[in-house]
Amino acid sequence: MTLLAVERIKLFSTRSPYWCSALALVLGVGLTAIIAASTDNGQLSLGATQFGSSQLALSVVLVMAALAVTTEYRFSTIRATFLAVPNRTSALVAKTVVVAFIAAVLGEIIAFGSVGIAKVLSPASDLAITTGDEWRHVAGVGLLYGIGAVIAIAVGILVRQTAGAVAILLVWNMLLEGLIGIIPKVGVKIQAWLPFMNANHFLQLGGDNPAEQAGAGVDFKLSQWGSLGYFAAIAVALLVVALIVAKRRDA
Amino acid sequence: MIEAVRLQKHYGKTKAVDDLSFSVRPGRVTGFLGPNGAGKSTTMRMILGLDTPTGGDVRIDGKHYAELKQPLTKVGALLDAKWVHPNRSARSHLKWLAVSNKIPVSRVKEVLEVVGLTEVAHKNAGGFSLGMSQRLGIAGALLGDPEVLLFDEPVNGLDPEGILWIRQFMHRLANEGRTVFVSSHLLSEMAQTAQDLIVIGKGQLIAQTSTEQFIADATQDTVRVRSPHAAKLREILAAHATVTDDSVSGSLVVHGIPAQQIGELAAENQIVLHELSPQRGSLEEAFMQLTKESVEYQAH
Protein backbone atom coordinates (compact mmCIF):
# COMPACT_ATOMS: atom_id res chain seq x y z
CA MET A 1 0.00 0.00 0.00
CA THR A 2 2.88 2.31 0.84
CA LEU A 3 4.36 1.90 -2.59
CA LEU A 4 1.01 2.56 -4.26
CA ALA A 5 0.78 5.81 -2.32
CA VAL A 6 4.31 6.72 -3.40
CA GLU A 7 3.56 6.17 -7.06
CA ARG A 8 0.30 8.07 -6.76
CA ILE A 9 2.14 11.07 -5.25
CA LYS A 10 4.79 10.88 -7.96
CA LEU A 11 2.29 10.64 -10.78
CA PHE A 12 0.05 13.45 -9.62
CA SER A 13 2.82 15.85 -8.65
CA THR A 14 3.78 16.39 -12.28
CA ARG A 15 1.66 17.84 -15.01
CA SER A 16 1.92 15.31 -17.83
CA PRO A 17 -0.74 12.87 -16.57
CA TYR A 18 -3.25 15.72 -16.31
CA TRP A 19 -2.47 16.91 -19.83
CA CYS A 20 -2.58 13.42 -21.28
CA SER A 21 -5.85 12.63 -19.52
CA ALA A 22 -7.39 15.86 -20.74
CA LEU A 23 -6.16 15.24 -24.27
CA ALA A 24 -7.48 11.67 -24.26
CA LEU A 25 -10.83 12.90 -23.01
CA VAL A 26 -11.08 15.65 -25.62
CA LEU A 27 -10.03 13.39 -28.48
CA GLY A 28 -12.14 10.43 -27.44
CA VAL A 29 -15.32 12.26 -26.62
CA GLY A 30 -14.67 14.88 -29.29
CA LEU A 31 -14.50 12.35 -32.09
CA THR A 32 -17.79 10.86 -30.94
CA ALA A 33 -19.30 14.34 -30.91
CA ILE A 34 -18.19 14.93 -34.49
CA ILE A 35 -19.57 11.56 -35.60
CA ALA A 36 -22.82 12.19 -33.77
CA ALA A 37 -23.18 15.65 -35.21
CA SER A 38 -22.58 14.45 -38.75
CA THR A 39 -24.95 11.49 -38.53
CA ASP A 40 -28.67 11.96 -39.12
CA ASN A 41 -30.55 12.12 -35.87
CA GLY A 42 -31.89 8.67 -35.10
CA GLN A 43 -29.36 6.84 -37.25
CA LEU A 44 -26.45 6.75 -34.75
CA SER A 45 -25.61 3.30 -33.37
CA LEU A 46 -23.97 2.49 -30.10
CA GLY A 47 -21.08 0.90 -32.01
CA ALA A 48 -20.22 4.26 -33.55
CA THR A 49 -19.82 5.97 -30.17
CA GLN A 50 -16.63 4.13 -29.24
CA PHE A 51 -14.41 4.87 -32.25
CA GLY A 52 -12.80 7.72 -30.40
CA SER A 53 -12.28 5.87 -27.15
CA SER A 54 -11.05 2.58 -28.58
CA GLN A 55 -8.74 4.02 -31.24
CA LEU A 56 -7.72 7.64 -30.86
CA ALA A 57 -7.83 8.13 -27.09
CA LEU A 58 -6.24 4.73 -26.46
CA SER A 59 -3.08 5.95 -28.16
CA VAL A 60 -2.89 8.95 -25.84
CA VAL A 61 -3.35 6.72 -22.81
CA LEU A 62 -0.57 4.44 -24.03
CA VAL A 63 1.68 7.47 -24.33
CA MET A 64 0.72 8.65 -20.82
CA ALA A 65 1.54 5.24 -19.33
CA ALA A 66 4.86 5.02 -21.16
CA LEU A 67 5.74 8.55 -20.01
CA ALA A 68 5.11 7.59 -16.40
CA VAL A 69 8.17 5.38 -16.59
CA THR A 70 10.36 6.91 -19.31
CA THR A 71 10.42 10.30 -17.57
CA GLU A 72 11.76 8.49 -14.51
CA TYR A 73 14.64 7.29 -16.62
CA ARG A 74 14.98 10.61 -18.42
CA PHE A 75 15.44 12.53 -15.16
CA SER A 76 17.11 9.67 -13.28
CA THR A 77 14.39 9.75 -10.64
CA ILE A 78 14.27 6.00 -11.21
CA ARG A 79 17.58 5.91 -9.33
CA ALA A 80 16.12 7.92 -6.48
CA THR A 81 13.23 5.45 -6.53
CA PHE A 82 15.52 2.43 -6.38
CA LEU A 83 17.47 4.05 -3.53
CA ALA A 84 14.27 4.52 -1.56
CA VAL A 85 12.86 1.14 -2.60
CA PRO A 86 15.71 -1.26 -3.40
CA ASN A 87 13.23 -3.99 -4.34
CA ARG A 88 12.88 -2.86 -7.93
CA THR A 89 10.20 -5.37 -8.81
CA SER A 90 7.79 -4.15 -6.14
CA ALA A 91 8.51 -0.50 -6.98
CA LEU A 92 7.77 -1.04 -10.66
CA VAL A 93 4.76 -3.28 -10.02
CA ALA A 94 3.32 -0.56 -7.78
CA LYS A 95 3.79 1.96 -10.55
CA THR A 96 2.12 -0.38 -13.03
CA VAL A 97 -0.87 -0.93 -10.76
CA VAL A 98 -1.38 2.80 -10.18
CA VAL A 99 -1.03 3.77 -13.83
CA ALA A 100 -3.19 0.87 -15.07
CA PHE A 101 -5.89 1.75 -12.55
CA ILE A 102 -5.91 5.39 -13.59
CA ALA A 103 -5.98 4.38 -17.26
CA ALA A 104 -8.93 2.07 -16.60
CA VAL A 105 -10.89 4.77 -14.79
CA LEU A 106 -10.09 7.21 -17.56
CA GLY A 107 -11.29 4.62 -20.08
CA GLU A 108 -14.66 4.33 -18.35
CA ILE A 109 -15.03 8.10 -18.21
CA ILE A 110 -14.23 8.46 -21.90
CA ALA A 111 -16.42 5.51 -22.95
CA PHE A 112 -19.50 6.59 -21.01
CA GLY A 113 -18.78 10.24 -21.75
CA SER A 114 -18.86 9.38 -25.44
CA VAL A 115 -22.22 7.64 -25.09
CA GLY A 116 -23.46 10.61 -23.11
CA ILE A 117 -22.48 13.21 -25.66
CA ALA A 118 -23.92 11.05 -28.45
CA LYS A 119 -27.24 10.95 -26.60
CA VAL A 120 -27.23 14.72 -26.27
CA LEU A 121 -26.37 15.34 -29.91
CA SER A 122 -28.51 12.58 -31.36
CA PRO A 123 -31.43 12.19 -28.96
CA ALA A 124 -33.59 10.18 -31.34
CA SER A 125 -31.01 7.43 -31.79
CA ASP A 126 -31.24 4.21 -29.83
CA LEU A 127 -28.17 4.39 -27.64
CA ALA A 128 -29.46 2.51 -24.62
CA ILE A 129 -26.99 0.08 -23.08
CA THR A 130 -29.10 -2.95 -22.26
CA THR A 131 -27.59 -6.22 -23.44
CA GLY A 132 -24.44 -7.80 -22.08
CA ASP A 133 -22.72 -7.25 -25.43
CA GLU A 134 -23.50 -3.56 -25.26
CA TRP A 135 -22.14 -3.30 -21.74
CA ARG A 136 -18.98 -5.09 -22.83
CA HIS A 137 -18.64 -2.76 -25.79
CA VAL A 138 -18.75 0.37 -23.65
CA ALA A 139 -17.51 -0.62 -20.21
CA GLY A 140 -14.85 -2.85 -21.78
CA VAL A 141 -12.95 0.24 -22.90
CA GLY A 142 -11.68 0.69 -19.34
CA LEU A 143 -10.30 -2.84 -19.25
CA LEU A 144 -8.64 -2.25 -22.58
CA TYR A 145 -6.95 0.91 -21.29
CA GLY A 146 -5.81 -0.74 -18.10
CA ILE A 147 -4.19 -3.65 -19.92
CA GLY A 148 -2.85 -1.37 -22.64
CA ALA A 149 -1.18 0.72 -19.90
CA VAL A 150 0.61 -2.39 -18.63
CA ILE A 151 2.00 -3.00 -22.13
CA ALA A 152 3.05 0.65 -22.41
CA ILE A 153 4.85 0.54 -19.06
CA ALA A 154 6.64 -2.68 -19.99
CA VAL A 155 7.80 -1.11 -23.24
CA GLY A 156 8.83 2.02 -21.33
CA ILE A 157 10.92 0.01 -18.86
CA LEU A 158 12.61 -1.90 -21.66
CA VAL A 159 13.32 1.05 -23.94
CA ARG A 160 13.86 3.72 -21.23
CA GLN A 161 13.52 6.57 -23.72
CA THR A 162 10.34 8.52 -24.28
CA ALA A 163 10.75 8.94 -28.03
CA GLY A 164 11.57 5.29 -28.61
CA ALA A 165 8.82 3.95 -26.39
CA VAL A 166 6.17 6.27 -27.84
CA ALA A 167 7.18 5.48 -31.41
CA ILE A 168 7.07 1.73 -30.76
CA LEU A 169 3.66 1.91 -29.08
CA LEU A 170 2.03 4.15 -31.68
CA VAL A 171 3.38 2.31 -34.70
CA TRP A 172 2.51 -1.02 -33.16
CA ASN A 173 -1.00 -0.09 -32.12
CA MET A 174 -2.04 2.20 -34.97
CA LEU A 175 -0.14 0.88 -37.97
CA LEU A 176 1.73 -2.39 -37.68
CA GLU A 177 -1.08 -4.71 -36.65
CA GLY A 178 -3.38 -3.32 -39.30
CA LEU A 179 -0.74 -3.44 -42.06
CA ILE A 180 0.00 -7.09 -41.43
CA GLY A 181 -3.42 -7.80 -42.93
CA ILE A 182 -1.99 -6.73 -46.29
CA ILE A 183 0.11 -9.89 -46.45
CA PRO A 184 -1.86 -12.24 -48.71
CA LYS A 185 -3.62 -15.16 -47.08
CA VAL A 186 -1.48 -15.51 -43.92
CA GLY A 187 -1.88 -11.84 -42.96
CA VAL A 188 -5.34 -12.24 -41.44
CA LYS A 189 -4.27 -15.46 -39.77
CA ILE A 190 -1.39 -13.67 -38.06
CA GLN A 191 -3.69 -10.80 -37.15
CA ALA A 192 -5.89 -13.20 -35.22
CA TRP A 193 -3.05 -13.54 -32.73
CA LEU A 194 -1.88 -9.94 -32.47
CA PRO A 195 -2.55 -8.31 -29.08
CA PHE A 196 -4.25 -5.07 -30.10
CA MET A 197 -6.31 -6.90 -32.73
CA ASN A 198 -7.55 -9.18 -29.98
CA ALA A 199 -8.22 -6.15 -27.80
CA ASN A 200 -10.45 -4.73 -30.49
CA HIS A 201 -12.04 -8.11 -31.02
CA PHE A 202 -13.03 -8.07 -27.37
CA LEU A 203 -14.84 -4.79 -27.86
CA GLN A 204 -16.75 -5.92 -31.00
CA LEU A 205 -20.43 -5.45 -30.68
CA GLY A 206 -21.15 -8.36 -33.01
CA GLY A 207 -24.12 -6.41 -34.28
CA ASP A 208 -25.83 -5.93 -37.58
CA ASN A 209 -23.21 -3.67 -39.14
CA PRO A 210 -19.87 -5.52 -39.40
CA ALA A 211 -18.23 -2.65 -41.24
CA GLU A 212 -18.39 -0.63 -38.03
CA GLN A 213 -16.51 -3.28 -36.14
CA ALA A 214 -12.78 -2.96 -35.62
CA GLY A 215 -10.85 -6.01 -36.71
CA ALA A 216 -13.54 -7.01 -39.16
CA GLY A 217 -12.57 -9.74 -41.56
CA VAL A 218 -10.06 -11.31 -39.20
CA ASP A 219 -10.78 -14.91 -38.35
CA PHE A 220 -10.34 -14.86 -34.57
CA LYS A 221 -9.92 -18.24 -32.93
CA LEU A 222 -10.73 -16.99 -29.46
CA SER A 223 -14.01 -15.93 -27.94
CA GLN A 224 -14.32 -12.23 -27.18
CA TRP A 225 -13.49 -12.69 -23.50
CA GLY A 226 -10.81 -15.13 -24.58
CA SER A 227 -9.32 -12.36 -26.69
CA LEU A 228 -9.25 -10.07 -23.66
CA GLY A 229 -7.53 -12.78 -21.64
CA TYR A 230 -5.02 -13.24 -24.44
CA PHE A 231 -4.38 -9.47 -24.56
CA ALA A 232 -3.89 -9.44 -20.79
CA ALA A 233 -1.59 -12.46 -20.88
CA ILE A 234 0.65 -10.77 -23.43
CA ALA A 235 0.71 -7.62 -21.30
CA VAL A 236 1.70 -9.58 -18.19
CA ALA A 237 4.34 -11.55 -20.10
CA LEU A 238 5.86 -8.33 -21.43
CA LEU A 239 5.84 -6.83 -17.94
CA VAL A 240 7.56 -9.87 -16.46
CA VAL A 241 10.30 -9.62 -19.09
CA ALA A 242 10.65 -5.90 -18.36
CA LEU A 243 10.86 -6.50 -14.60
CA ILE A 244 13.55 -9.15 -15.02
CA VAL A 245 15.56 -6.83 -17.26
CA ALA A 246 15.15 -3.90 -14.84
CA LYS A 247 16.30 -6.03 -11.95
CA ARG A 248 19.46 -7.17 -13.70
CA ARG A 249 20.37 -3.92 -15.37
CA ASP A 250 22.47 -1.25 -13.67
CA ALA A 251 20.18 1.62 -12.77
CA MET B 1 30.60 0.97 8.78
CA ILE B 2 30.91 0.46 5.05
CA GLU B 3 33.08 -2.41 3.99
CA ALA B 4 34.17 -3.21 0.46
CA VAL B 5 35.94 -6.47 -0.24
CA ARG B 6 37.71 -7.00 -3.54
CA LEU B 7 35.08 -4.96 -5.29
CA GLN B 8 35.15 -5.07 -9.08
CA LYS B 9 33.19 -3.47 -11.87
CA HIS B 10 34.10 -4.15 -15.44
CA TYR B 11 32.50 -2.63 -18.49
CA GLY B 12 33.70 -4.89 -21.28
CA LYS B 13 37.47 -4.65 -21.09
CA THR B 14 37.48 -1.46 -19.06
CA LYS B 15 38.03 -2.04 -15.38
CA ALA B 16 36.23 0.87 -13.74
CA VAL B 17 36.77 -0.59 -10.29
CA ASP B 18 39.48 -3.17 -9.91
CA ASP B 19 39.86 -5.31 -6.81
CA LEU B 20 39.08 -2.48 -4.41
CA SER B 21 38.97 -3.18 -0.68
CA PHE B 22 38.42 -0.54 1.96
CA SER B 23 36.42 0.24 5.03
CA VAL B 24 34.75 3.44 6.15
CA ARG B 25 34.83 3.87 9.89
CA PRO B 26 31.68 4.89 11.74
CA GLY B 27 31.32 8.35 13.24
CA ARG B 28 33.95 9.97 11.04
CA VAL B 29 34.19 11.89 7.83
CA THR B 30 36.00 9.80 5.26
CA GLY B 31 37.13 11.37 2.04
CA PHE B 32 37.01 9.29 -1.10
CA LEU B 33 39.67 10.76 -3.26
CA GLY B 34 40.77 10.15 -6.80
CA PRO B 35 41.17 11.86 -10.15
CA ASN B 36 38.18 12.10 -12.46
CA GLY B 37 37.33 8.70 -13.87
CA ALA B 38 39.03 6.83 -11.04
CA GLY B 39 35.87 4.88 -10.27
CA LYS B 40 34.53 6.89 -7.32
CA SER B 41 30.98 7.24 -8.56
CA THR B 42 30.83 3.66 -9.76
CA THR B 43 31.93 2.50 -6.32
CA MET B 44 29.30 4.65 -4.65
CA ARG B 45 26.61 3.30 -6.96
CA MET B 46 27.66 -0.23 -6.04
CA ILE B 47 27.53 0.59 -2.32
CA LEU B 48 23.96 1.75 -2.88
CA GLY B 49 22.94 -1.25 -4.94
CA LEU B 50 22.28 0.74 -8.11
CA ASP B 51 25.02 -1.07 -10.01
CA THR B 52 25.79 -4.74 -9.57
CA PRO B 53 29.47 -5.48 -8.95
CA THR B 54 31.21 -7.74 -11.45
CA GLY B 55 32.97 -9.31 -8.49
CA GLY B 56 33.51 -8.80 -4.80
CA ASP B 57 31.15 -7.43 -2.27
CA VAL B 58 30.24 -4.26 -0.43
CA ARG B 59 28.14 -4.09 2.71
CA ILE B 60 26.83 -1.49 5.10
CA ASP B 61 26.94 -2.73 8.68
CA GLY B 62 27.16 -6.25 7.32
CA LYS B 63 24.19 -5.94 4.99
CA HIS B 64 23.81 -5.30 1.30
CA TYR B 65 21.96 -2.08 0.59
CA ALA B 66 19.08 -4.05 -0.95
CA GLU B 67 18.61 -5.92 2.33
CA LEU B 68 18.07 -2.77 4.36
CA LYS B 69 14.55 -2.15 5.55
CA GLN B 70 13.51 1.45 4.97
CA PRO B 71 17.01 2.18 3.61
CA LEU B 72 16.60 5.97 3.78
CA THR B 73 16.47 5.76 7.57
CA LYS B 74 19.85 4.03 7.57
CA VAL B 75 21.73 5.53 4.64
CA GLY B 76 21.26 8.94 3.08
CA ALA B 77 22.87 9.56 -0.27
CA LEU B 78 23.38 12.41 -2.66
CA LEU B 79 24.97 11.09 -5.81
CA ASP B 80 23.59 13.62 -8.25
CA ALA B 81 21.59 16.71 -7.38
CA LYS B 82 19.79 16.51 -10.73
CA TRP B 83 17.97 13.27 -9.90
CA VAL B 84 14.76 15.21 -9.48
CA HIS B 85 11.81 15.63 -11.82
CA PRO B 86 12.04 19.24 -13.03
CA ASN B 87 8.27 19.71 -12.93
CA ARG B 88 7.88 18.40 -9.42
CA SER B 89 8.06 20.76 -6.47
CA ALA B 90 10.76 20.39 -3.86
CA ARG B 91 8.11 19.54 -1.28
CA SER B 92 6.47 16.85 -3.43
CA HIS B 93 9.86 15.36 -4.22
CA LEU B 94 10.64 14.99 -0.52
CA LYS B 95 7.11 13.89 0.26
CA TRP B 96 7.20 10.81 -1.95
CA LEU B 97 10.62 9.94 -0.59
CA ALA B 98 9.30 10.22 2.96
CA VAL B 99 6.21 8.13 2.28
CA SER B 100 8.27 5.42 0.59
CA ASN B 101 10.23 4.81 3.80
CA LYS B 102 7.40 5.44 6.26
CA ILE B 103 9.04 8.63 7.46
CA PRO B 104 6.50 11.08 8.91
CA VAL B 105 5.63 13.68 6.29
CA SER B 106 6.21 16.41 8.91
CA ARG B 107 9.90 15.64 8.50
CA VAL B 108 9.78 17.20 5.03
CA LYS B 109 9.25 20.62 6.52
CA GLU B 110 12.07 20.09 8.98
CA VAL B 111 14.70 19.12 6.41
CA LEU B 112 13.63 21.92 4.10
CA GLU B 113 14.31 24.28 6.98
CA VAL B 114 17.66 22.66 7.74
CA VAL B 115 18.89 23.27 4.19
CA GLY B 116 17.19 26.64 3.90
CA LEU B 117 14.72 25.88 1.12
CA THR B 118 11.49 26.59 2.99
CA GLU B 119 10.77 29.66 0.86
CA VAL B 120 10.94 27.76 -2.43
CA ALA B 121 9.43 24.47 -1.21
CA HIS B 122 6.44 24.78 -3.54
CA LYS B 123 8.53 25.70 -6.57
CA ASN B 124 9.45 23.21 -9.26
CA ALA B 125 12.90 21.75 -8.83
CA GLY B 126 13.65 22.33 -12.51
CA GLY B 127 14.05 26.04 -11.84
CA PHE B 128 16.60 25.56 -9.08
CA SER B 129 20.20 26.68 -9.39
CA LEU B 130 22.88 24.07 -8.88
CA GLY B 131 23.39 25.25 -5.32
CA MET B 132 19.69 24.96 -4.55
CA SER B 133 19.48 21.54 -6.20
CA GLN B 134 22.41 20.45 -4.09
CA ARG B 135 20.58 21.61 -0.98
CA LEU B 136 17.47 19.74 -2.04
CA GLY B 137 19.57 16.64 -2.58
CA ILE B 138 21.00 16.99 0.91
CA ALA B 139 17.53 17.48 2.32
CA GLY B 140 16.58 14.19 0.68
CA ALA B 141 19.61 12.47 2.15
CA LEU B 142 18.78 13.76 5.64
CA LEU B 143 15.10 12.89 5.42
CA GLY B 144 15.36 9.58 7.26
CA ASP B 145 17.83 10.94 9.84
CA PRO B 146 20.35 8.29 8.72
CA GLU B 147 23.56 7.44 10.52
CA VAL B 148 25.45 6.92 7.28
CA LEU B 149 25.69 9.60 4.62
CA LEU B 150 27.18 9.35 1.14
CA PHE B 151 27.95 12.38 -0.98
CA ASP B 152 29.44 12.25 -4.46
CA GLU B 153 31.39 15.39 -5.37
CA PRO B 154 29.06 17.64 -3.38
CA VAL B 155 30.98 20.85 -4.02
CA ASN B 156 31.44 20.36 -7.76
CA GLY B 157 30.35 23.43 -9.64
CA LEU B 158 29.27 25.34 -6.57
CA ASP B 159 30.15 28.96 -5.89
CA PRO B 160 32.37 29.76 -2.88
CA GLU B 161 29.39 30.43 -0.67
CA GLY B 162 27.88 27.07 -1.56
CA ILE B 163 31.18 25.30 -0.99
CA LEU B 164 31.53 26.86 2.45
CA TRP B 165 27.99 25.87 3.33
CA ILE B 166 28.54 22.26 2.30
CA ARG B 167 31.84 22.13 4.15
CA GLN B 168 30.31 23.42 7.37
CA PHE B 169 27.41 21.08 6.91
CA MET B 170 29.69 18.05 6.68
CA HIS B 171 31.36 19.07 9.91
CA ARG B 172 28.02 19.44 11.56
CA LEU B 173 26.96 15.98 10.41
CA ALA B 174 30.20 14.49 11.69
CA ASN B 175 29.84 16.29 15.01
CA GLU B 176 26.44 14.68 15.32
CA GLY B 177 28.29 11.38 15.23
CA ARG B 178 27.25 10.34 11.76
CA THR B 179 29.40 8.41 9.33
CA VAL B 180 30.08 10.57 6.31
CA PHE B 181 31.61 9.21 3.12
CA VAL B 182 32.30 11.95 0.65
CA SER B 183 34.05 11.80 -2.69
CA SER B 184 36.12 14.48 -4.33
CA HIS B 185 38.87 14.90 -6.86
CA LEU B 186 40.35 17.79 -4.86
CA LEU B 187 42.68 16.93 -2.02
CA SER B 188 42.67 20.48 -0.68
CA GLU B 189 38.91 20.22 -0.28
CA MET B 190 39.19 16.89 1.51
CA ALA B 191 42.02 18.12 3.74
CA GLN B 192 39.55 20.56 5.24
CA THR B 193 36.66 18.16 5.62
CA ALA B 194 37.82 14.59 6.03
CA GLN B 195 39.52 12.86 8.93
CA ASP B 196 40.26 9.71 6.98
CA LEU B 197 41.10 9.28 3.35
CA ILE B 198 40.60 6.51 0.86
CA VAL B 199 42.58 7.34 -2.24
CA ILE B 200 41.98 5.48 -5.48
CA GLY B 201 43.26 5.75 -9.03
CA LYS B 202 42.15 3.77 -12.08
CA GLY B 203 39.82 1.78 -9.89
CA GLN B 204 42.54 0.60 -7.56
CA LEU B 205 43.30 1.50 -3.97
CA ILE B 206 46.28 3.81 -3.60
CA ALA B 207 46.06 4.59 0.09
CA GLN B 208 43.77 4.27 3.07
CA THR B 209 44.97 6.37 5.96
CA SER B 210 44.16 9.35 8.12
CA THR B 211 44.24 12.68 6.31
CA GLU B 212 47.04 13.92 8.56
CA GLN B 213 49.20 10.92 7.89
CA PHE B 214 48.53 11.11 4.18
CA ILE B 215 49.58 14.73 3.99
CA ALA B 216 52.64 14.14 6.13
CA ASP B 217 53.69 11.22 3.96
CA ALA B 218 52.93 12.93 0.75
CA THR B 219 54.66 16.23 1.42
CA GLN B 220 58.39 16.31 1.99
CA ASP B 221 59.66 18.26 4.98
CA THR B 222 61.18 21.46 3.73
CA VAL B 223 62.45 24.30 5.91
CA ARG B 224 63.30 27.82 4.81
CA VAL B 225 66.14 29.46 6.75
CA ARG B 226 67.37 33.03 6.55
CA SER B 227 70.49 34.15 8.32
CA PRO B 228 73.06 36.94 8.05
CA HIS B 229 75.71 34.22 8.27
CA ALA B 230 74.28 32.20 5.47
CA ALA B 231 77.57 30.86 4.17
CA LYS B 232 78.63 29.50 7.56
CA LEU B 233 75.23 28.01 8.28
CA ARG B 234 75.20 26.37 4.89
CA GLU B 235 78.43 24.58 5.70
CA ILE B 236 77.13 23.25 9.00
CA LEU B 237 73.77 22.16 7.62
CA ALA B 238 75.25 20.49 4.56
CA ALA B 239 76.67 17.82 6.81
CA HIS B 240 73.15 16.82 7.89
CA ALA B 241 70.86 17.63 4.97
CA THR B 242 70.45 18.82 1.44
CA VAL B 243 70.73 22.59 1.23
CA THR B 244 69.84 24.69 -1.77
CA ASP B 245 69.97 28.44 -2.27
CA ASP B 246 66.89 30.43 -2.98
CA SER B 247 68.42 33.14 -5.10
CA VAL B 248 65.28 35.28 -5.09
CA SER B 249 64.95 35.76 -1.33
CA GLY B 250 68.55 34.98 -0.49
CA SER B 251 67.52 32.30 1.97
CA LEU B 252 68.43 28.64 2.29
CA VAL B 253 66.02 25.81 1.56
CA VAL B 254 66.78 22.74 3.67
CA HIS B 255 65.46 19.26 2.93
CA GLY B 256 65.77 16.28 5.20
CA ILE B 257 65.94 17.61 8.76
CA PRO B 258 63.20 19.21 10.82
CA ALA B 259 63.17 22.92 11.75
CA GLN B 260 63.81 22.08 15.38
CA GLN B 261 67.15 20.45 14.58
CA ILE B 262 68.20 23.35 12.36
CA GLY B 263 67.51 25.77 15.21
CA GLU B 264 69.56 23.70 17.63
CA LEU B 265 72.46 23.45 15.19
CA ALA B 266 72.42 27.21 14.69
CA ALA B 267 72.39 27.82 18.46
CA GLU B 268 75.31 25.48 19.03
CA ASN B 269 77.32 27.40 16.50
CA GLN B 270 76.01 30.79 17.66
CA ILE B 271 74.54 31.71 14.35
CA VAL B 272 71.80 34.32 14.26
CA LEU B 273 68.63 33.26 12.45
CA HIS B 274 66.19 35.75 10.92
CA GLU B 275 63.78 33.16 9.68
CA LEU B 276 63.13 29.52 10.34
CA SER B 277 59.93 28.34 8.72
CA PRO B 278 58.78 24.81 7.88
CA GLN B 279 57.23 24.69 4.42
CA ARG B 280 54.29 22.48 3.69
CA GLY B 281 54.51 21.11 0.17
CA SER B 282 51.48 21.85 -1.90
CA LEU B 283 48.82 19.29 -1.20
CA GLU B 284 47.65 19.16 -4.79
CA GLU B 285 51.20 18.59 -5.95
CA ALA B 286 51.58 15.71 -3.56
CA PHE B 287 48.28 14.24 -4.61
CA MET B 288 49.12 14.57 -8.27
CA GLN B 289 52.46 12.91 -7.62
CA LEU B 290 50.65 9.99 -6.03
CA THR B 291 48.00 9.57 -8.64
CA LYS B 292 50.08 10.52 -11.67
CA GLU B 293 50.41 6.89 -12.66
CA SER B 294 46.72 6.35 -12.58
CA VAL B 295 45.28 9.35 -14.37
CA GLU B 296 43.29 8.04 -17.24
CA TYR B 297 43.57 10.79 -19.78
CA GLN B 298 46.68 12.87 -19.60
CA ALA B 299 47.73 15.93 -21.52
CA HIS B 300 51.31 15.83 -22.76
pLDDT tens for each residue of A172-195: 998 898 898 888 888 888 999 999
Report the percent of chain A where pLDDT is more than 70: 96
Contact B72 A84 (CB under 8 A): yes
pLDDT in tens, A201-213: 999 886 555 445 5
Please name the residues between 42 and 71 in chain A that touch chain B, using a CB distance below 8 Å: 71
Query: In chain B, which residue's Cα lies nearest the Cα of A250?
Result: B51
Q: Where would I find the H helices in A39-87?
A: 51, 57-74, 77-84
Predicted confidence at residue B248, as pLDDT, reads: 74
The residue-averaged pLDDT of A110-136 equals: 92
Q: What rounded mean pLDDT belongs to chain A?
A: 91
Q: How confident is the model at residue B287 (pLDDT cuts 50, 70, 90)?
A: confident
B50 in contact with A at a CB cutoff of 8 Å?
A: yes
CB atoms within 10 A of CB A64: 25
What's the gap between Cα B163 and its chain centre? 13
> Residues of chain B with pLDDT > 70: what percent?
92
A157 CA to chain B: closest CA distance, Å? 16
Measured between beta carbons, which residues in chain A are less than 8 angstroms from residue B89?
13
Pick from A69-83, B101-115, B147-161, B280-294: least confident: B280-294
Given A13, A79, A87, which is nearest B50 (Cβ)?
A: A79
pLDDT in the model for residue B299: 63
- Residue B90: name the closest of B122, B127, B116 by CA: B122
From chain A, pick out residues whose CB is under 8 angstroms from the CB of B94: none
Q: Is the pLDDT of residue B244 over 90?
A: no
Q: Is B11 on the interface with A (CB under 8 A)?
A: no
Question: For residue range B32-76, what is the model confidence (pLDDT) as tens digits?
Answer: 998 888 899 999 999 999 999 999 999 999 999 999 999 999 999
Please report the pLDDT score of residue A239 as a whole number: 98
CB pairs under 8 A between A and B: 78
- pLDDT reported for residue B223: 83
Among B64, B94, B99, B56, smallest CA distance to B78 is for B94
Model pLDDT, residue A1: 84
CA B45 to each of CA A103, B41, B106, B282: distance values in angstroms, whole numbers, following the listed order = 34, 6, 29, 31
Mean pLDDT of chain B: 88
- How much is the pLDDT for B211? 86
Q: Which range among A129-138, B36-45, B95-104, B254-263 shows the weakest confidence by mean pLDDT?
A: B254-263
Contact A145, A112 (CB under 8 A): no
Helix residue spans in chain B (DSSP H): 40-47, 90-100, 106-115, 130-142, 160-175, 187-193, 211-218, 230-238, 259-268, 283-291
Backbone angle region of A201, left / alpha / beta, with phi > 0 → left and psi within -120 to 50 → alpha: alpha
CB contact (8 A) between residue A71 and residue B85 = yes
User: For residue B52, which residues of chain A lie inside 8 Å, CB to CB?
Assistant: 248, 250
Query: Residue B51 and residue A2: Cβ atoms within 8 Å?
Result: no
Cα–Cα distance, B234 to B223 (Å, whole number): 13
Q: What's this model's pTM, rounded to 2 decimal places?
A: 0.85
Q: Which residues of B touch A87 (CB under 8 A)?
A: 66
Name the band, by pLDDT with cuts 50, 70 and 90, for residue A196.
Answer: very high
Q: How far apart are CA A100 and CA A173, in angstroms?
A: 17
Q: Which residues of B touch A15 (CB under 8 A)?
A: 87
ipTM of the shown complex: 0.87
Of B277, B13, B94, B295, the closest CA to residue A6 belongs to B94
Domain residue ranges of chain A, discontinuous segments joined by +: 2-176
**Any chain A CB within 8 A of the CB of B79?**
yes
pLDDT band at B258 (very low <50, low <70, confident <90, very high): confident
Burial of residue B272 (CB within 10 Å: 0-12, 13-18, 19+) is exposed
Each residue's pLDDT tens digit, B116-146: 999 999 999 999 998 899 999 999 999 999 9
Tell me what pLDDT residue B103 has. Answer: 96
A9:B86 CB<8 A: no
Tell me, what DSSP letter sits at residue B46?
A: H
Q: Which of B48, B49, B95 sits opposite A9 (nearest CB)?
A: B95
* pLDDT of A212: 53
What average pLDDT does range A79-96 have in this prediction? 96
- How far CA A223 is from CA of A135, A198, B134, in Å, comes to 16, 10, 57
- In this complex, the residue of B52, B93, B99 whose CB is nearest that of residue A5 is B99
Q: Do B84 and A77 touch (CB under 8 A)?
A: yes
Helix (H) or strand (E) holding B10: strand B2-11
The confidence score (pLDDT) of residue A236 equals 98
User: pLDDT-based confidence at B159, cuts 50/70/90?
Assistant: confident
Q: For chain B, which domains are there? A: 2-217 (3.40.50.300), 221-279 (3.30.70)
Chosen for mutation from B100, B101, B128, B136 (greatest number of chain A CBs closer than 10 Å) is B100
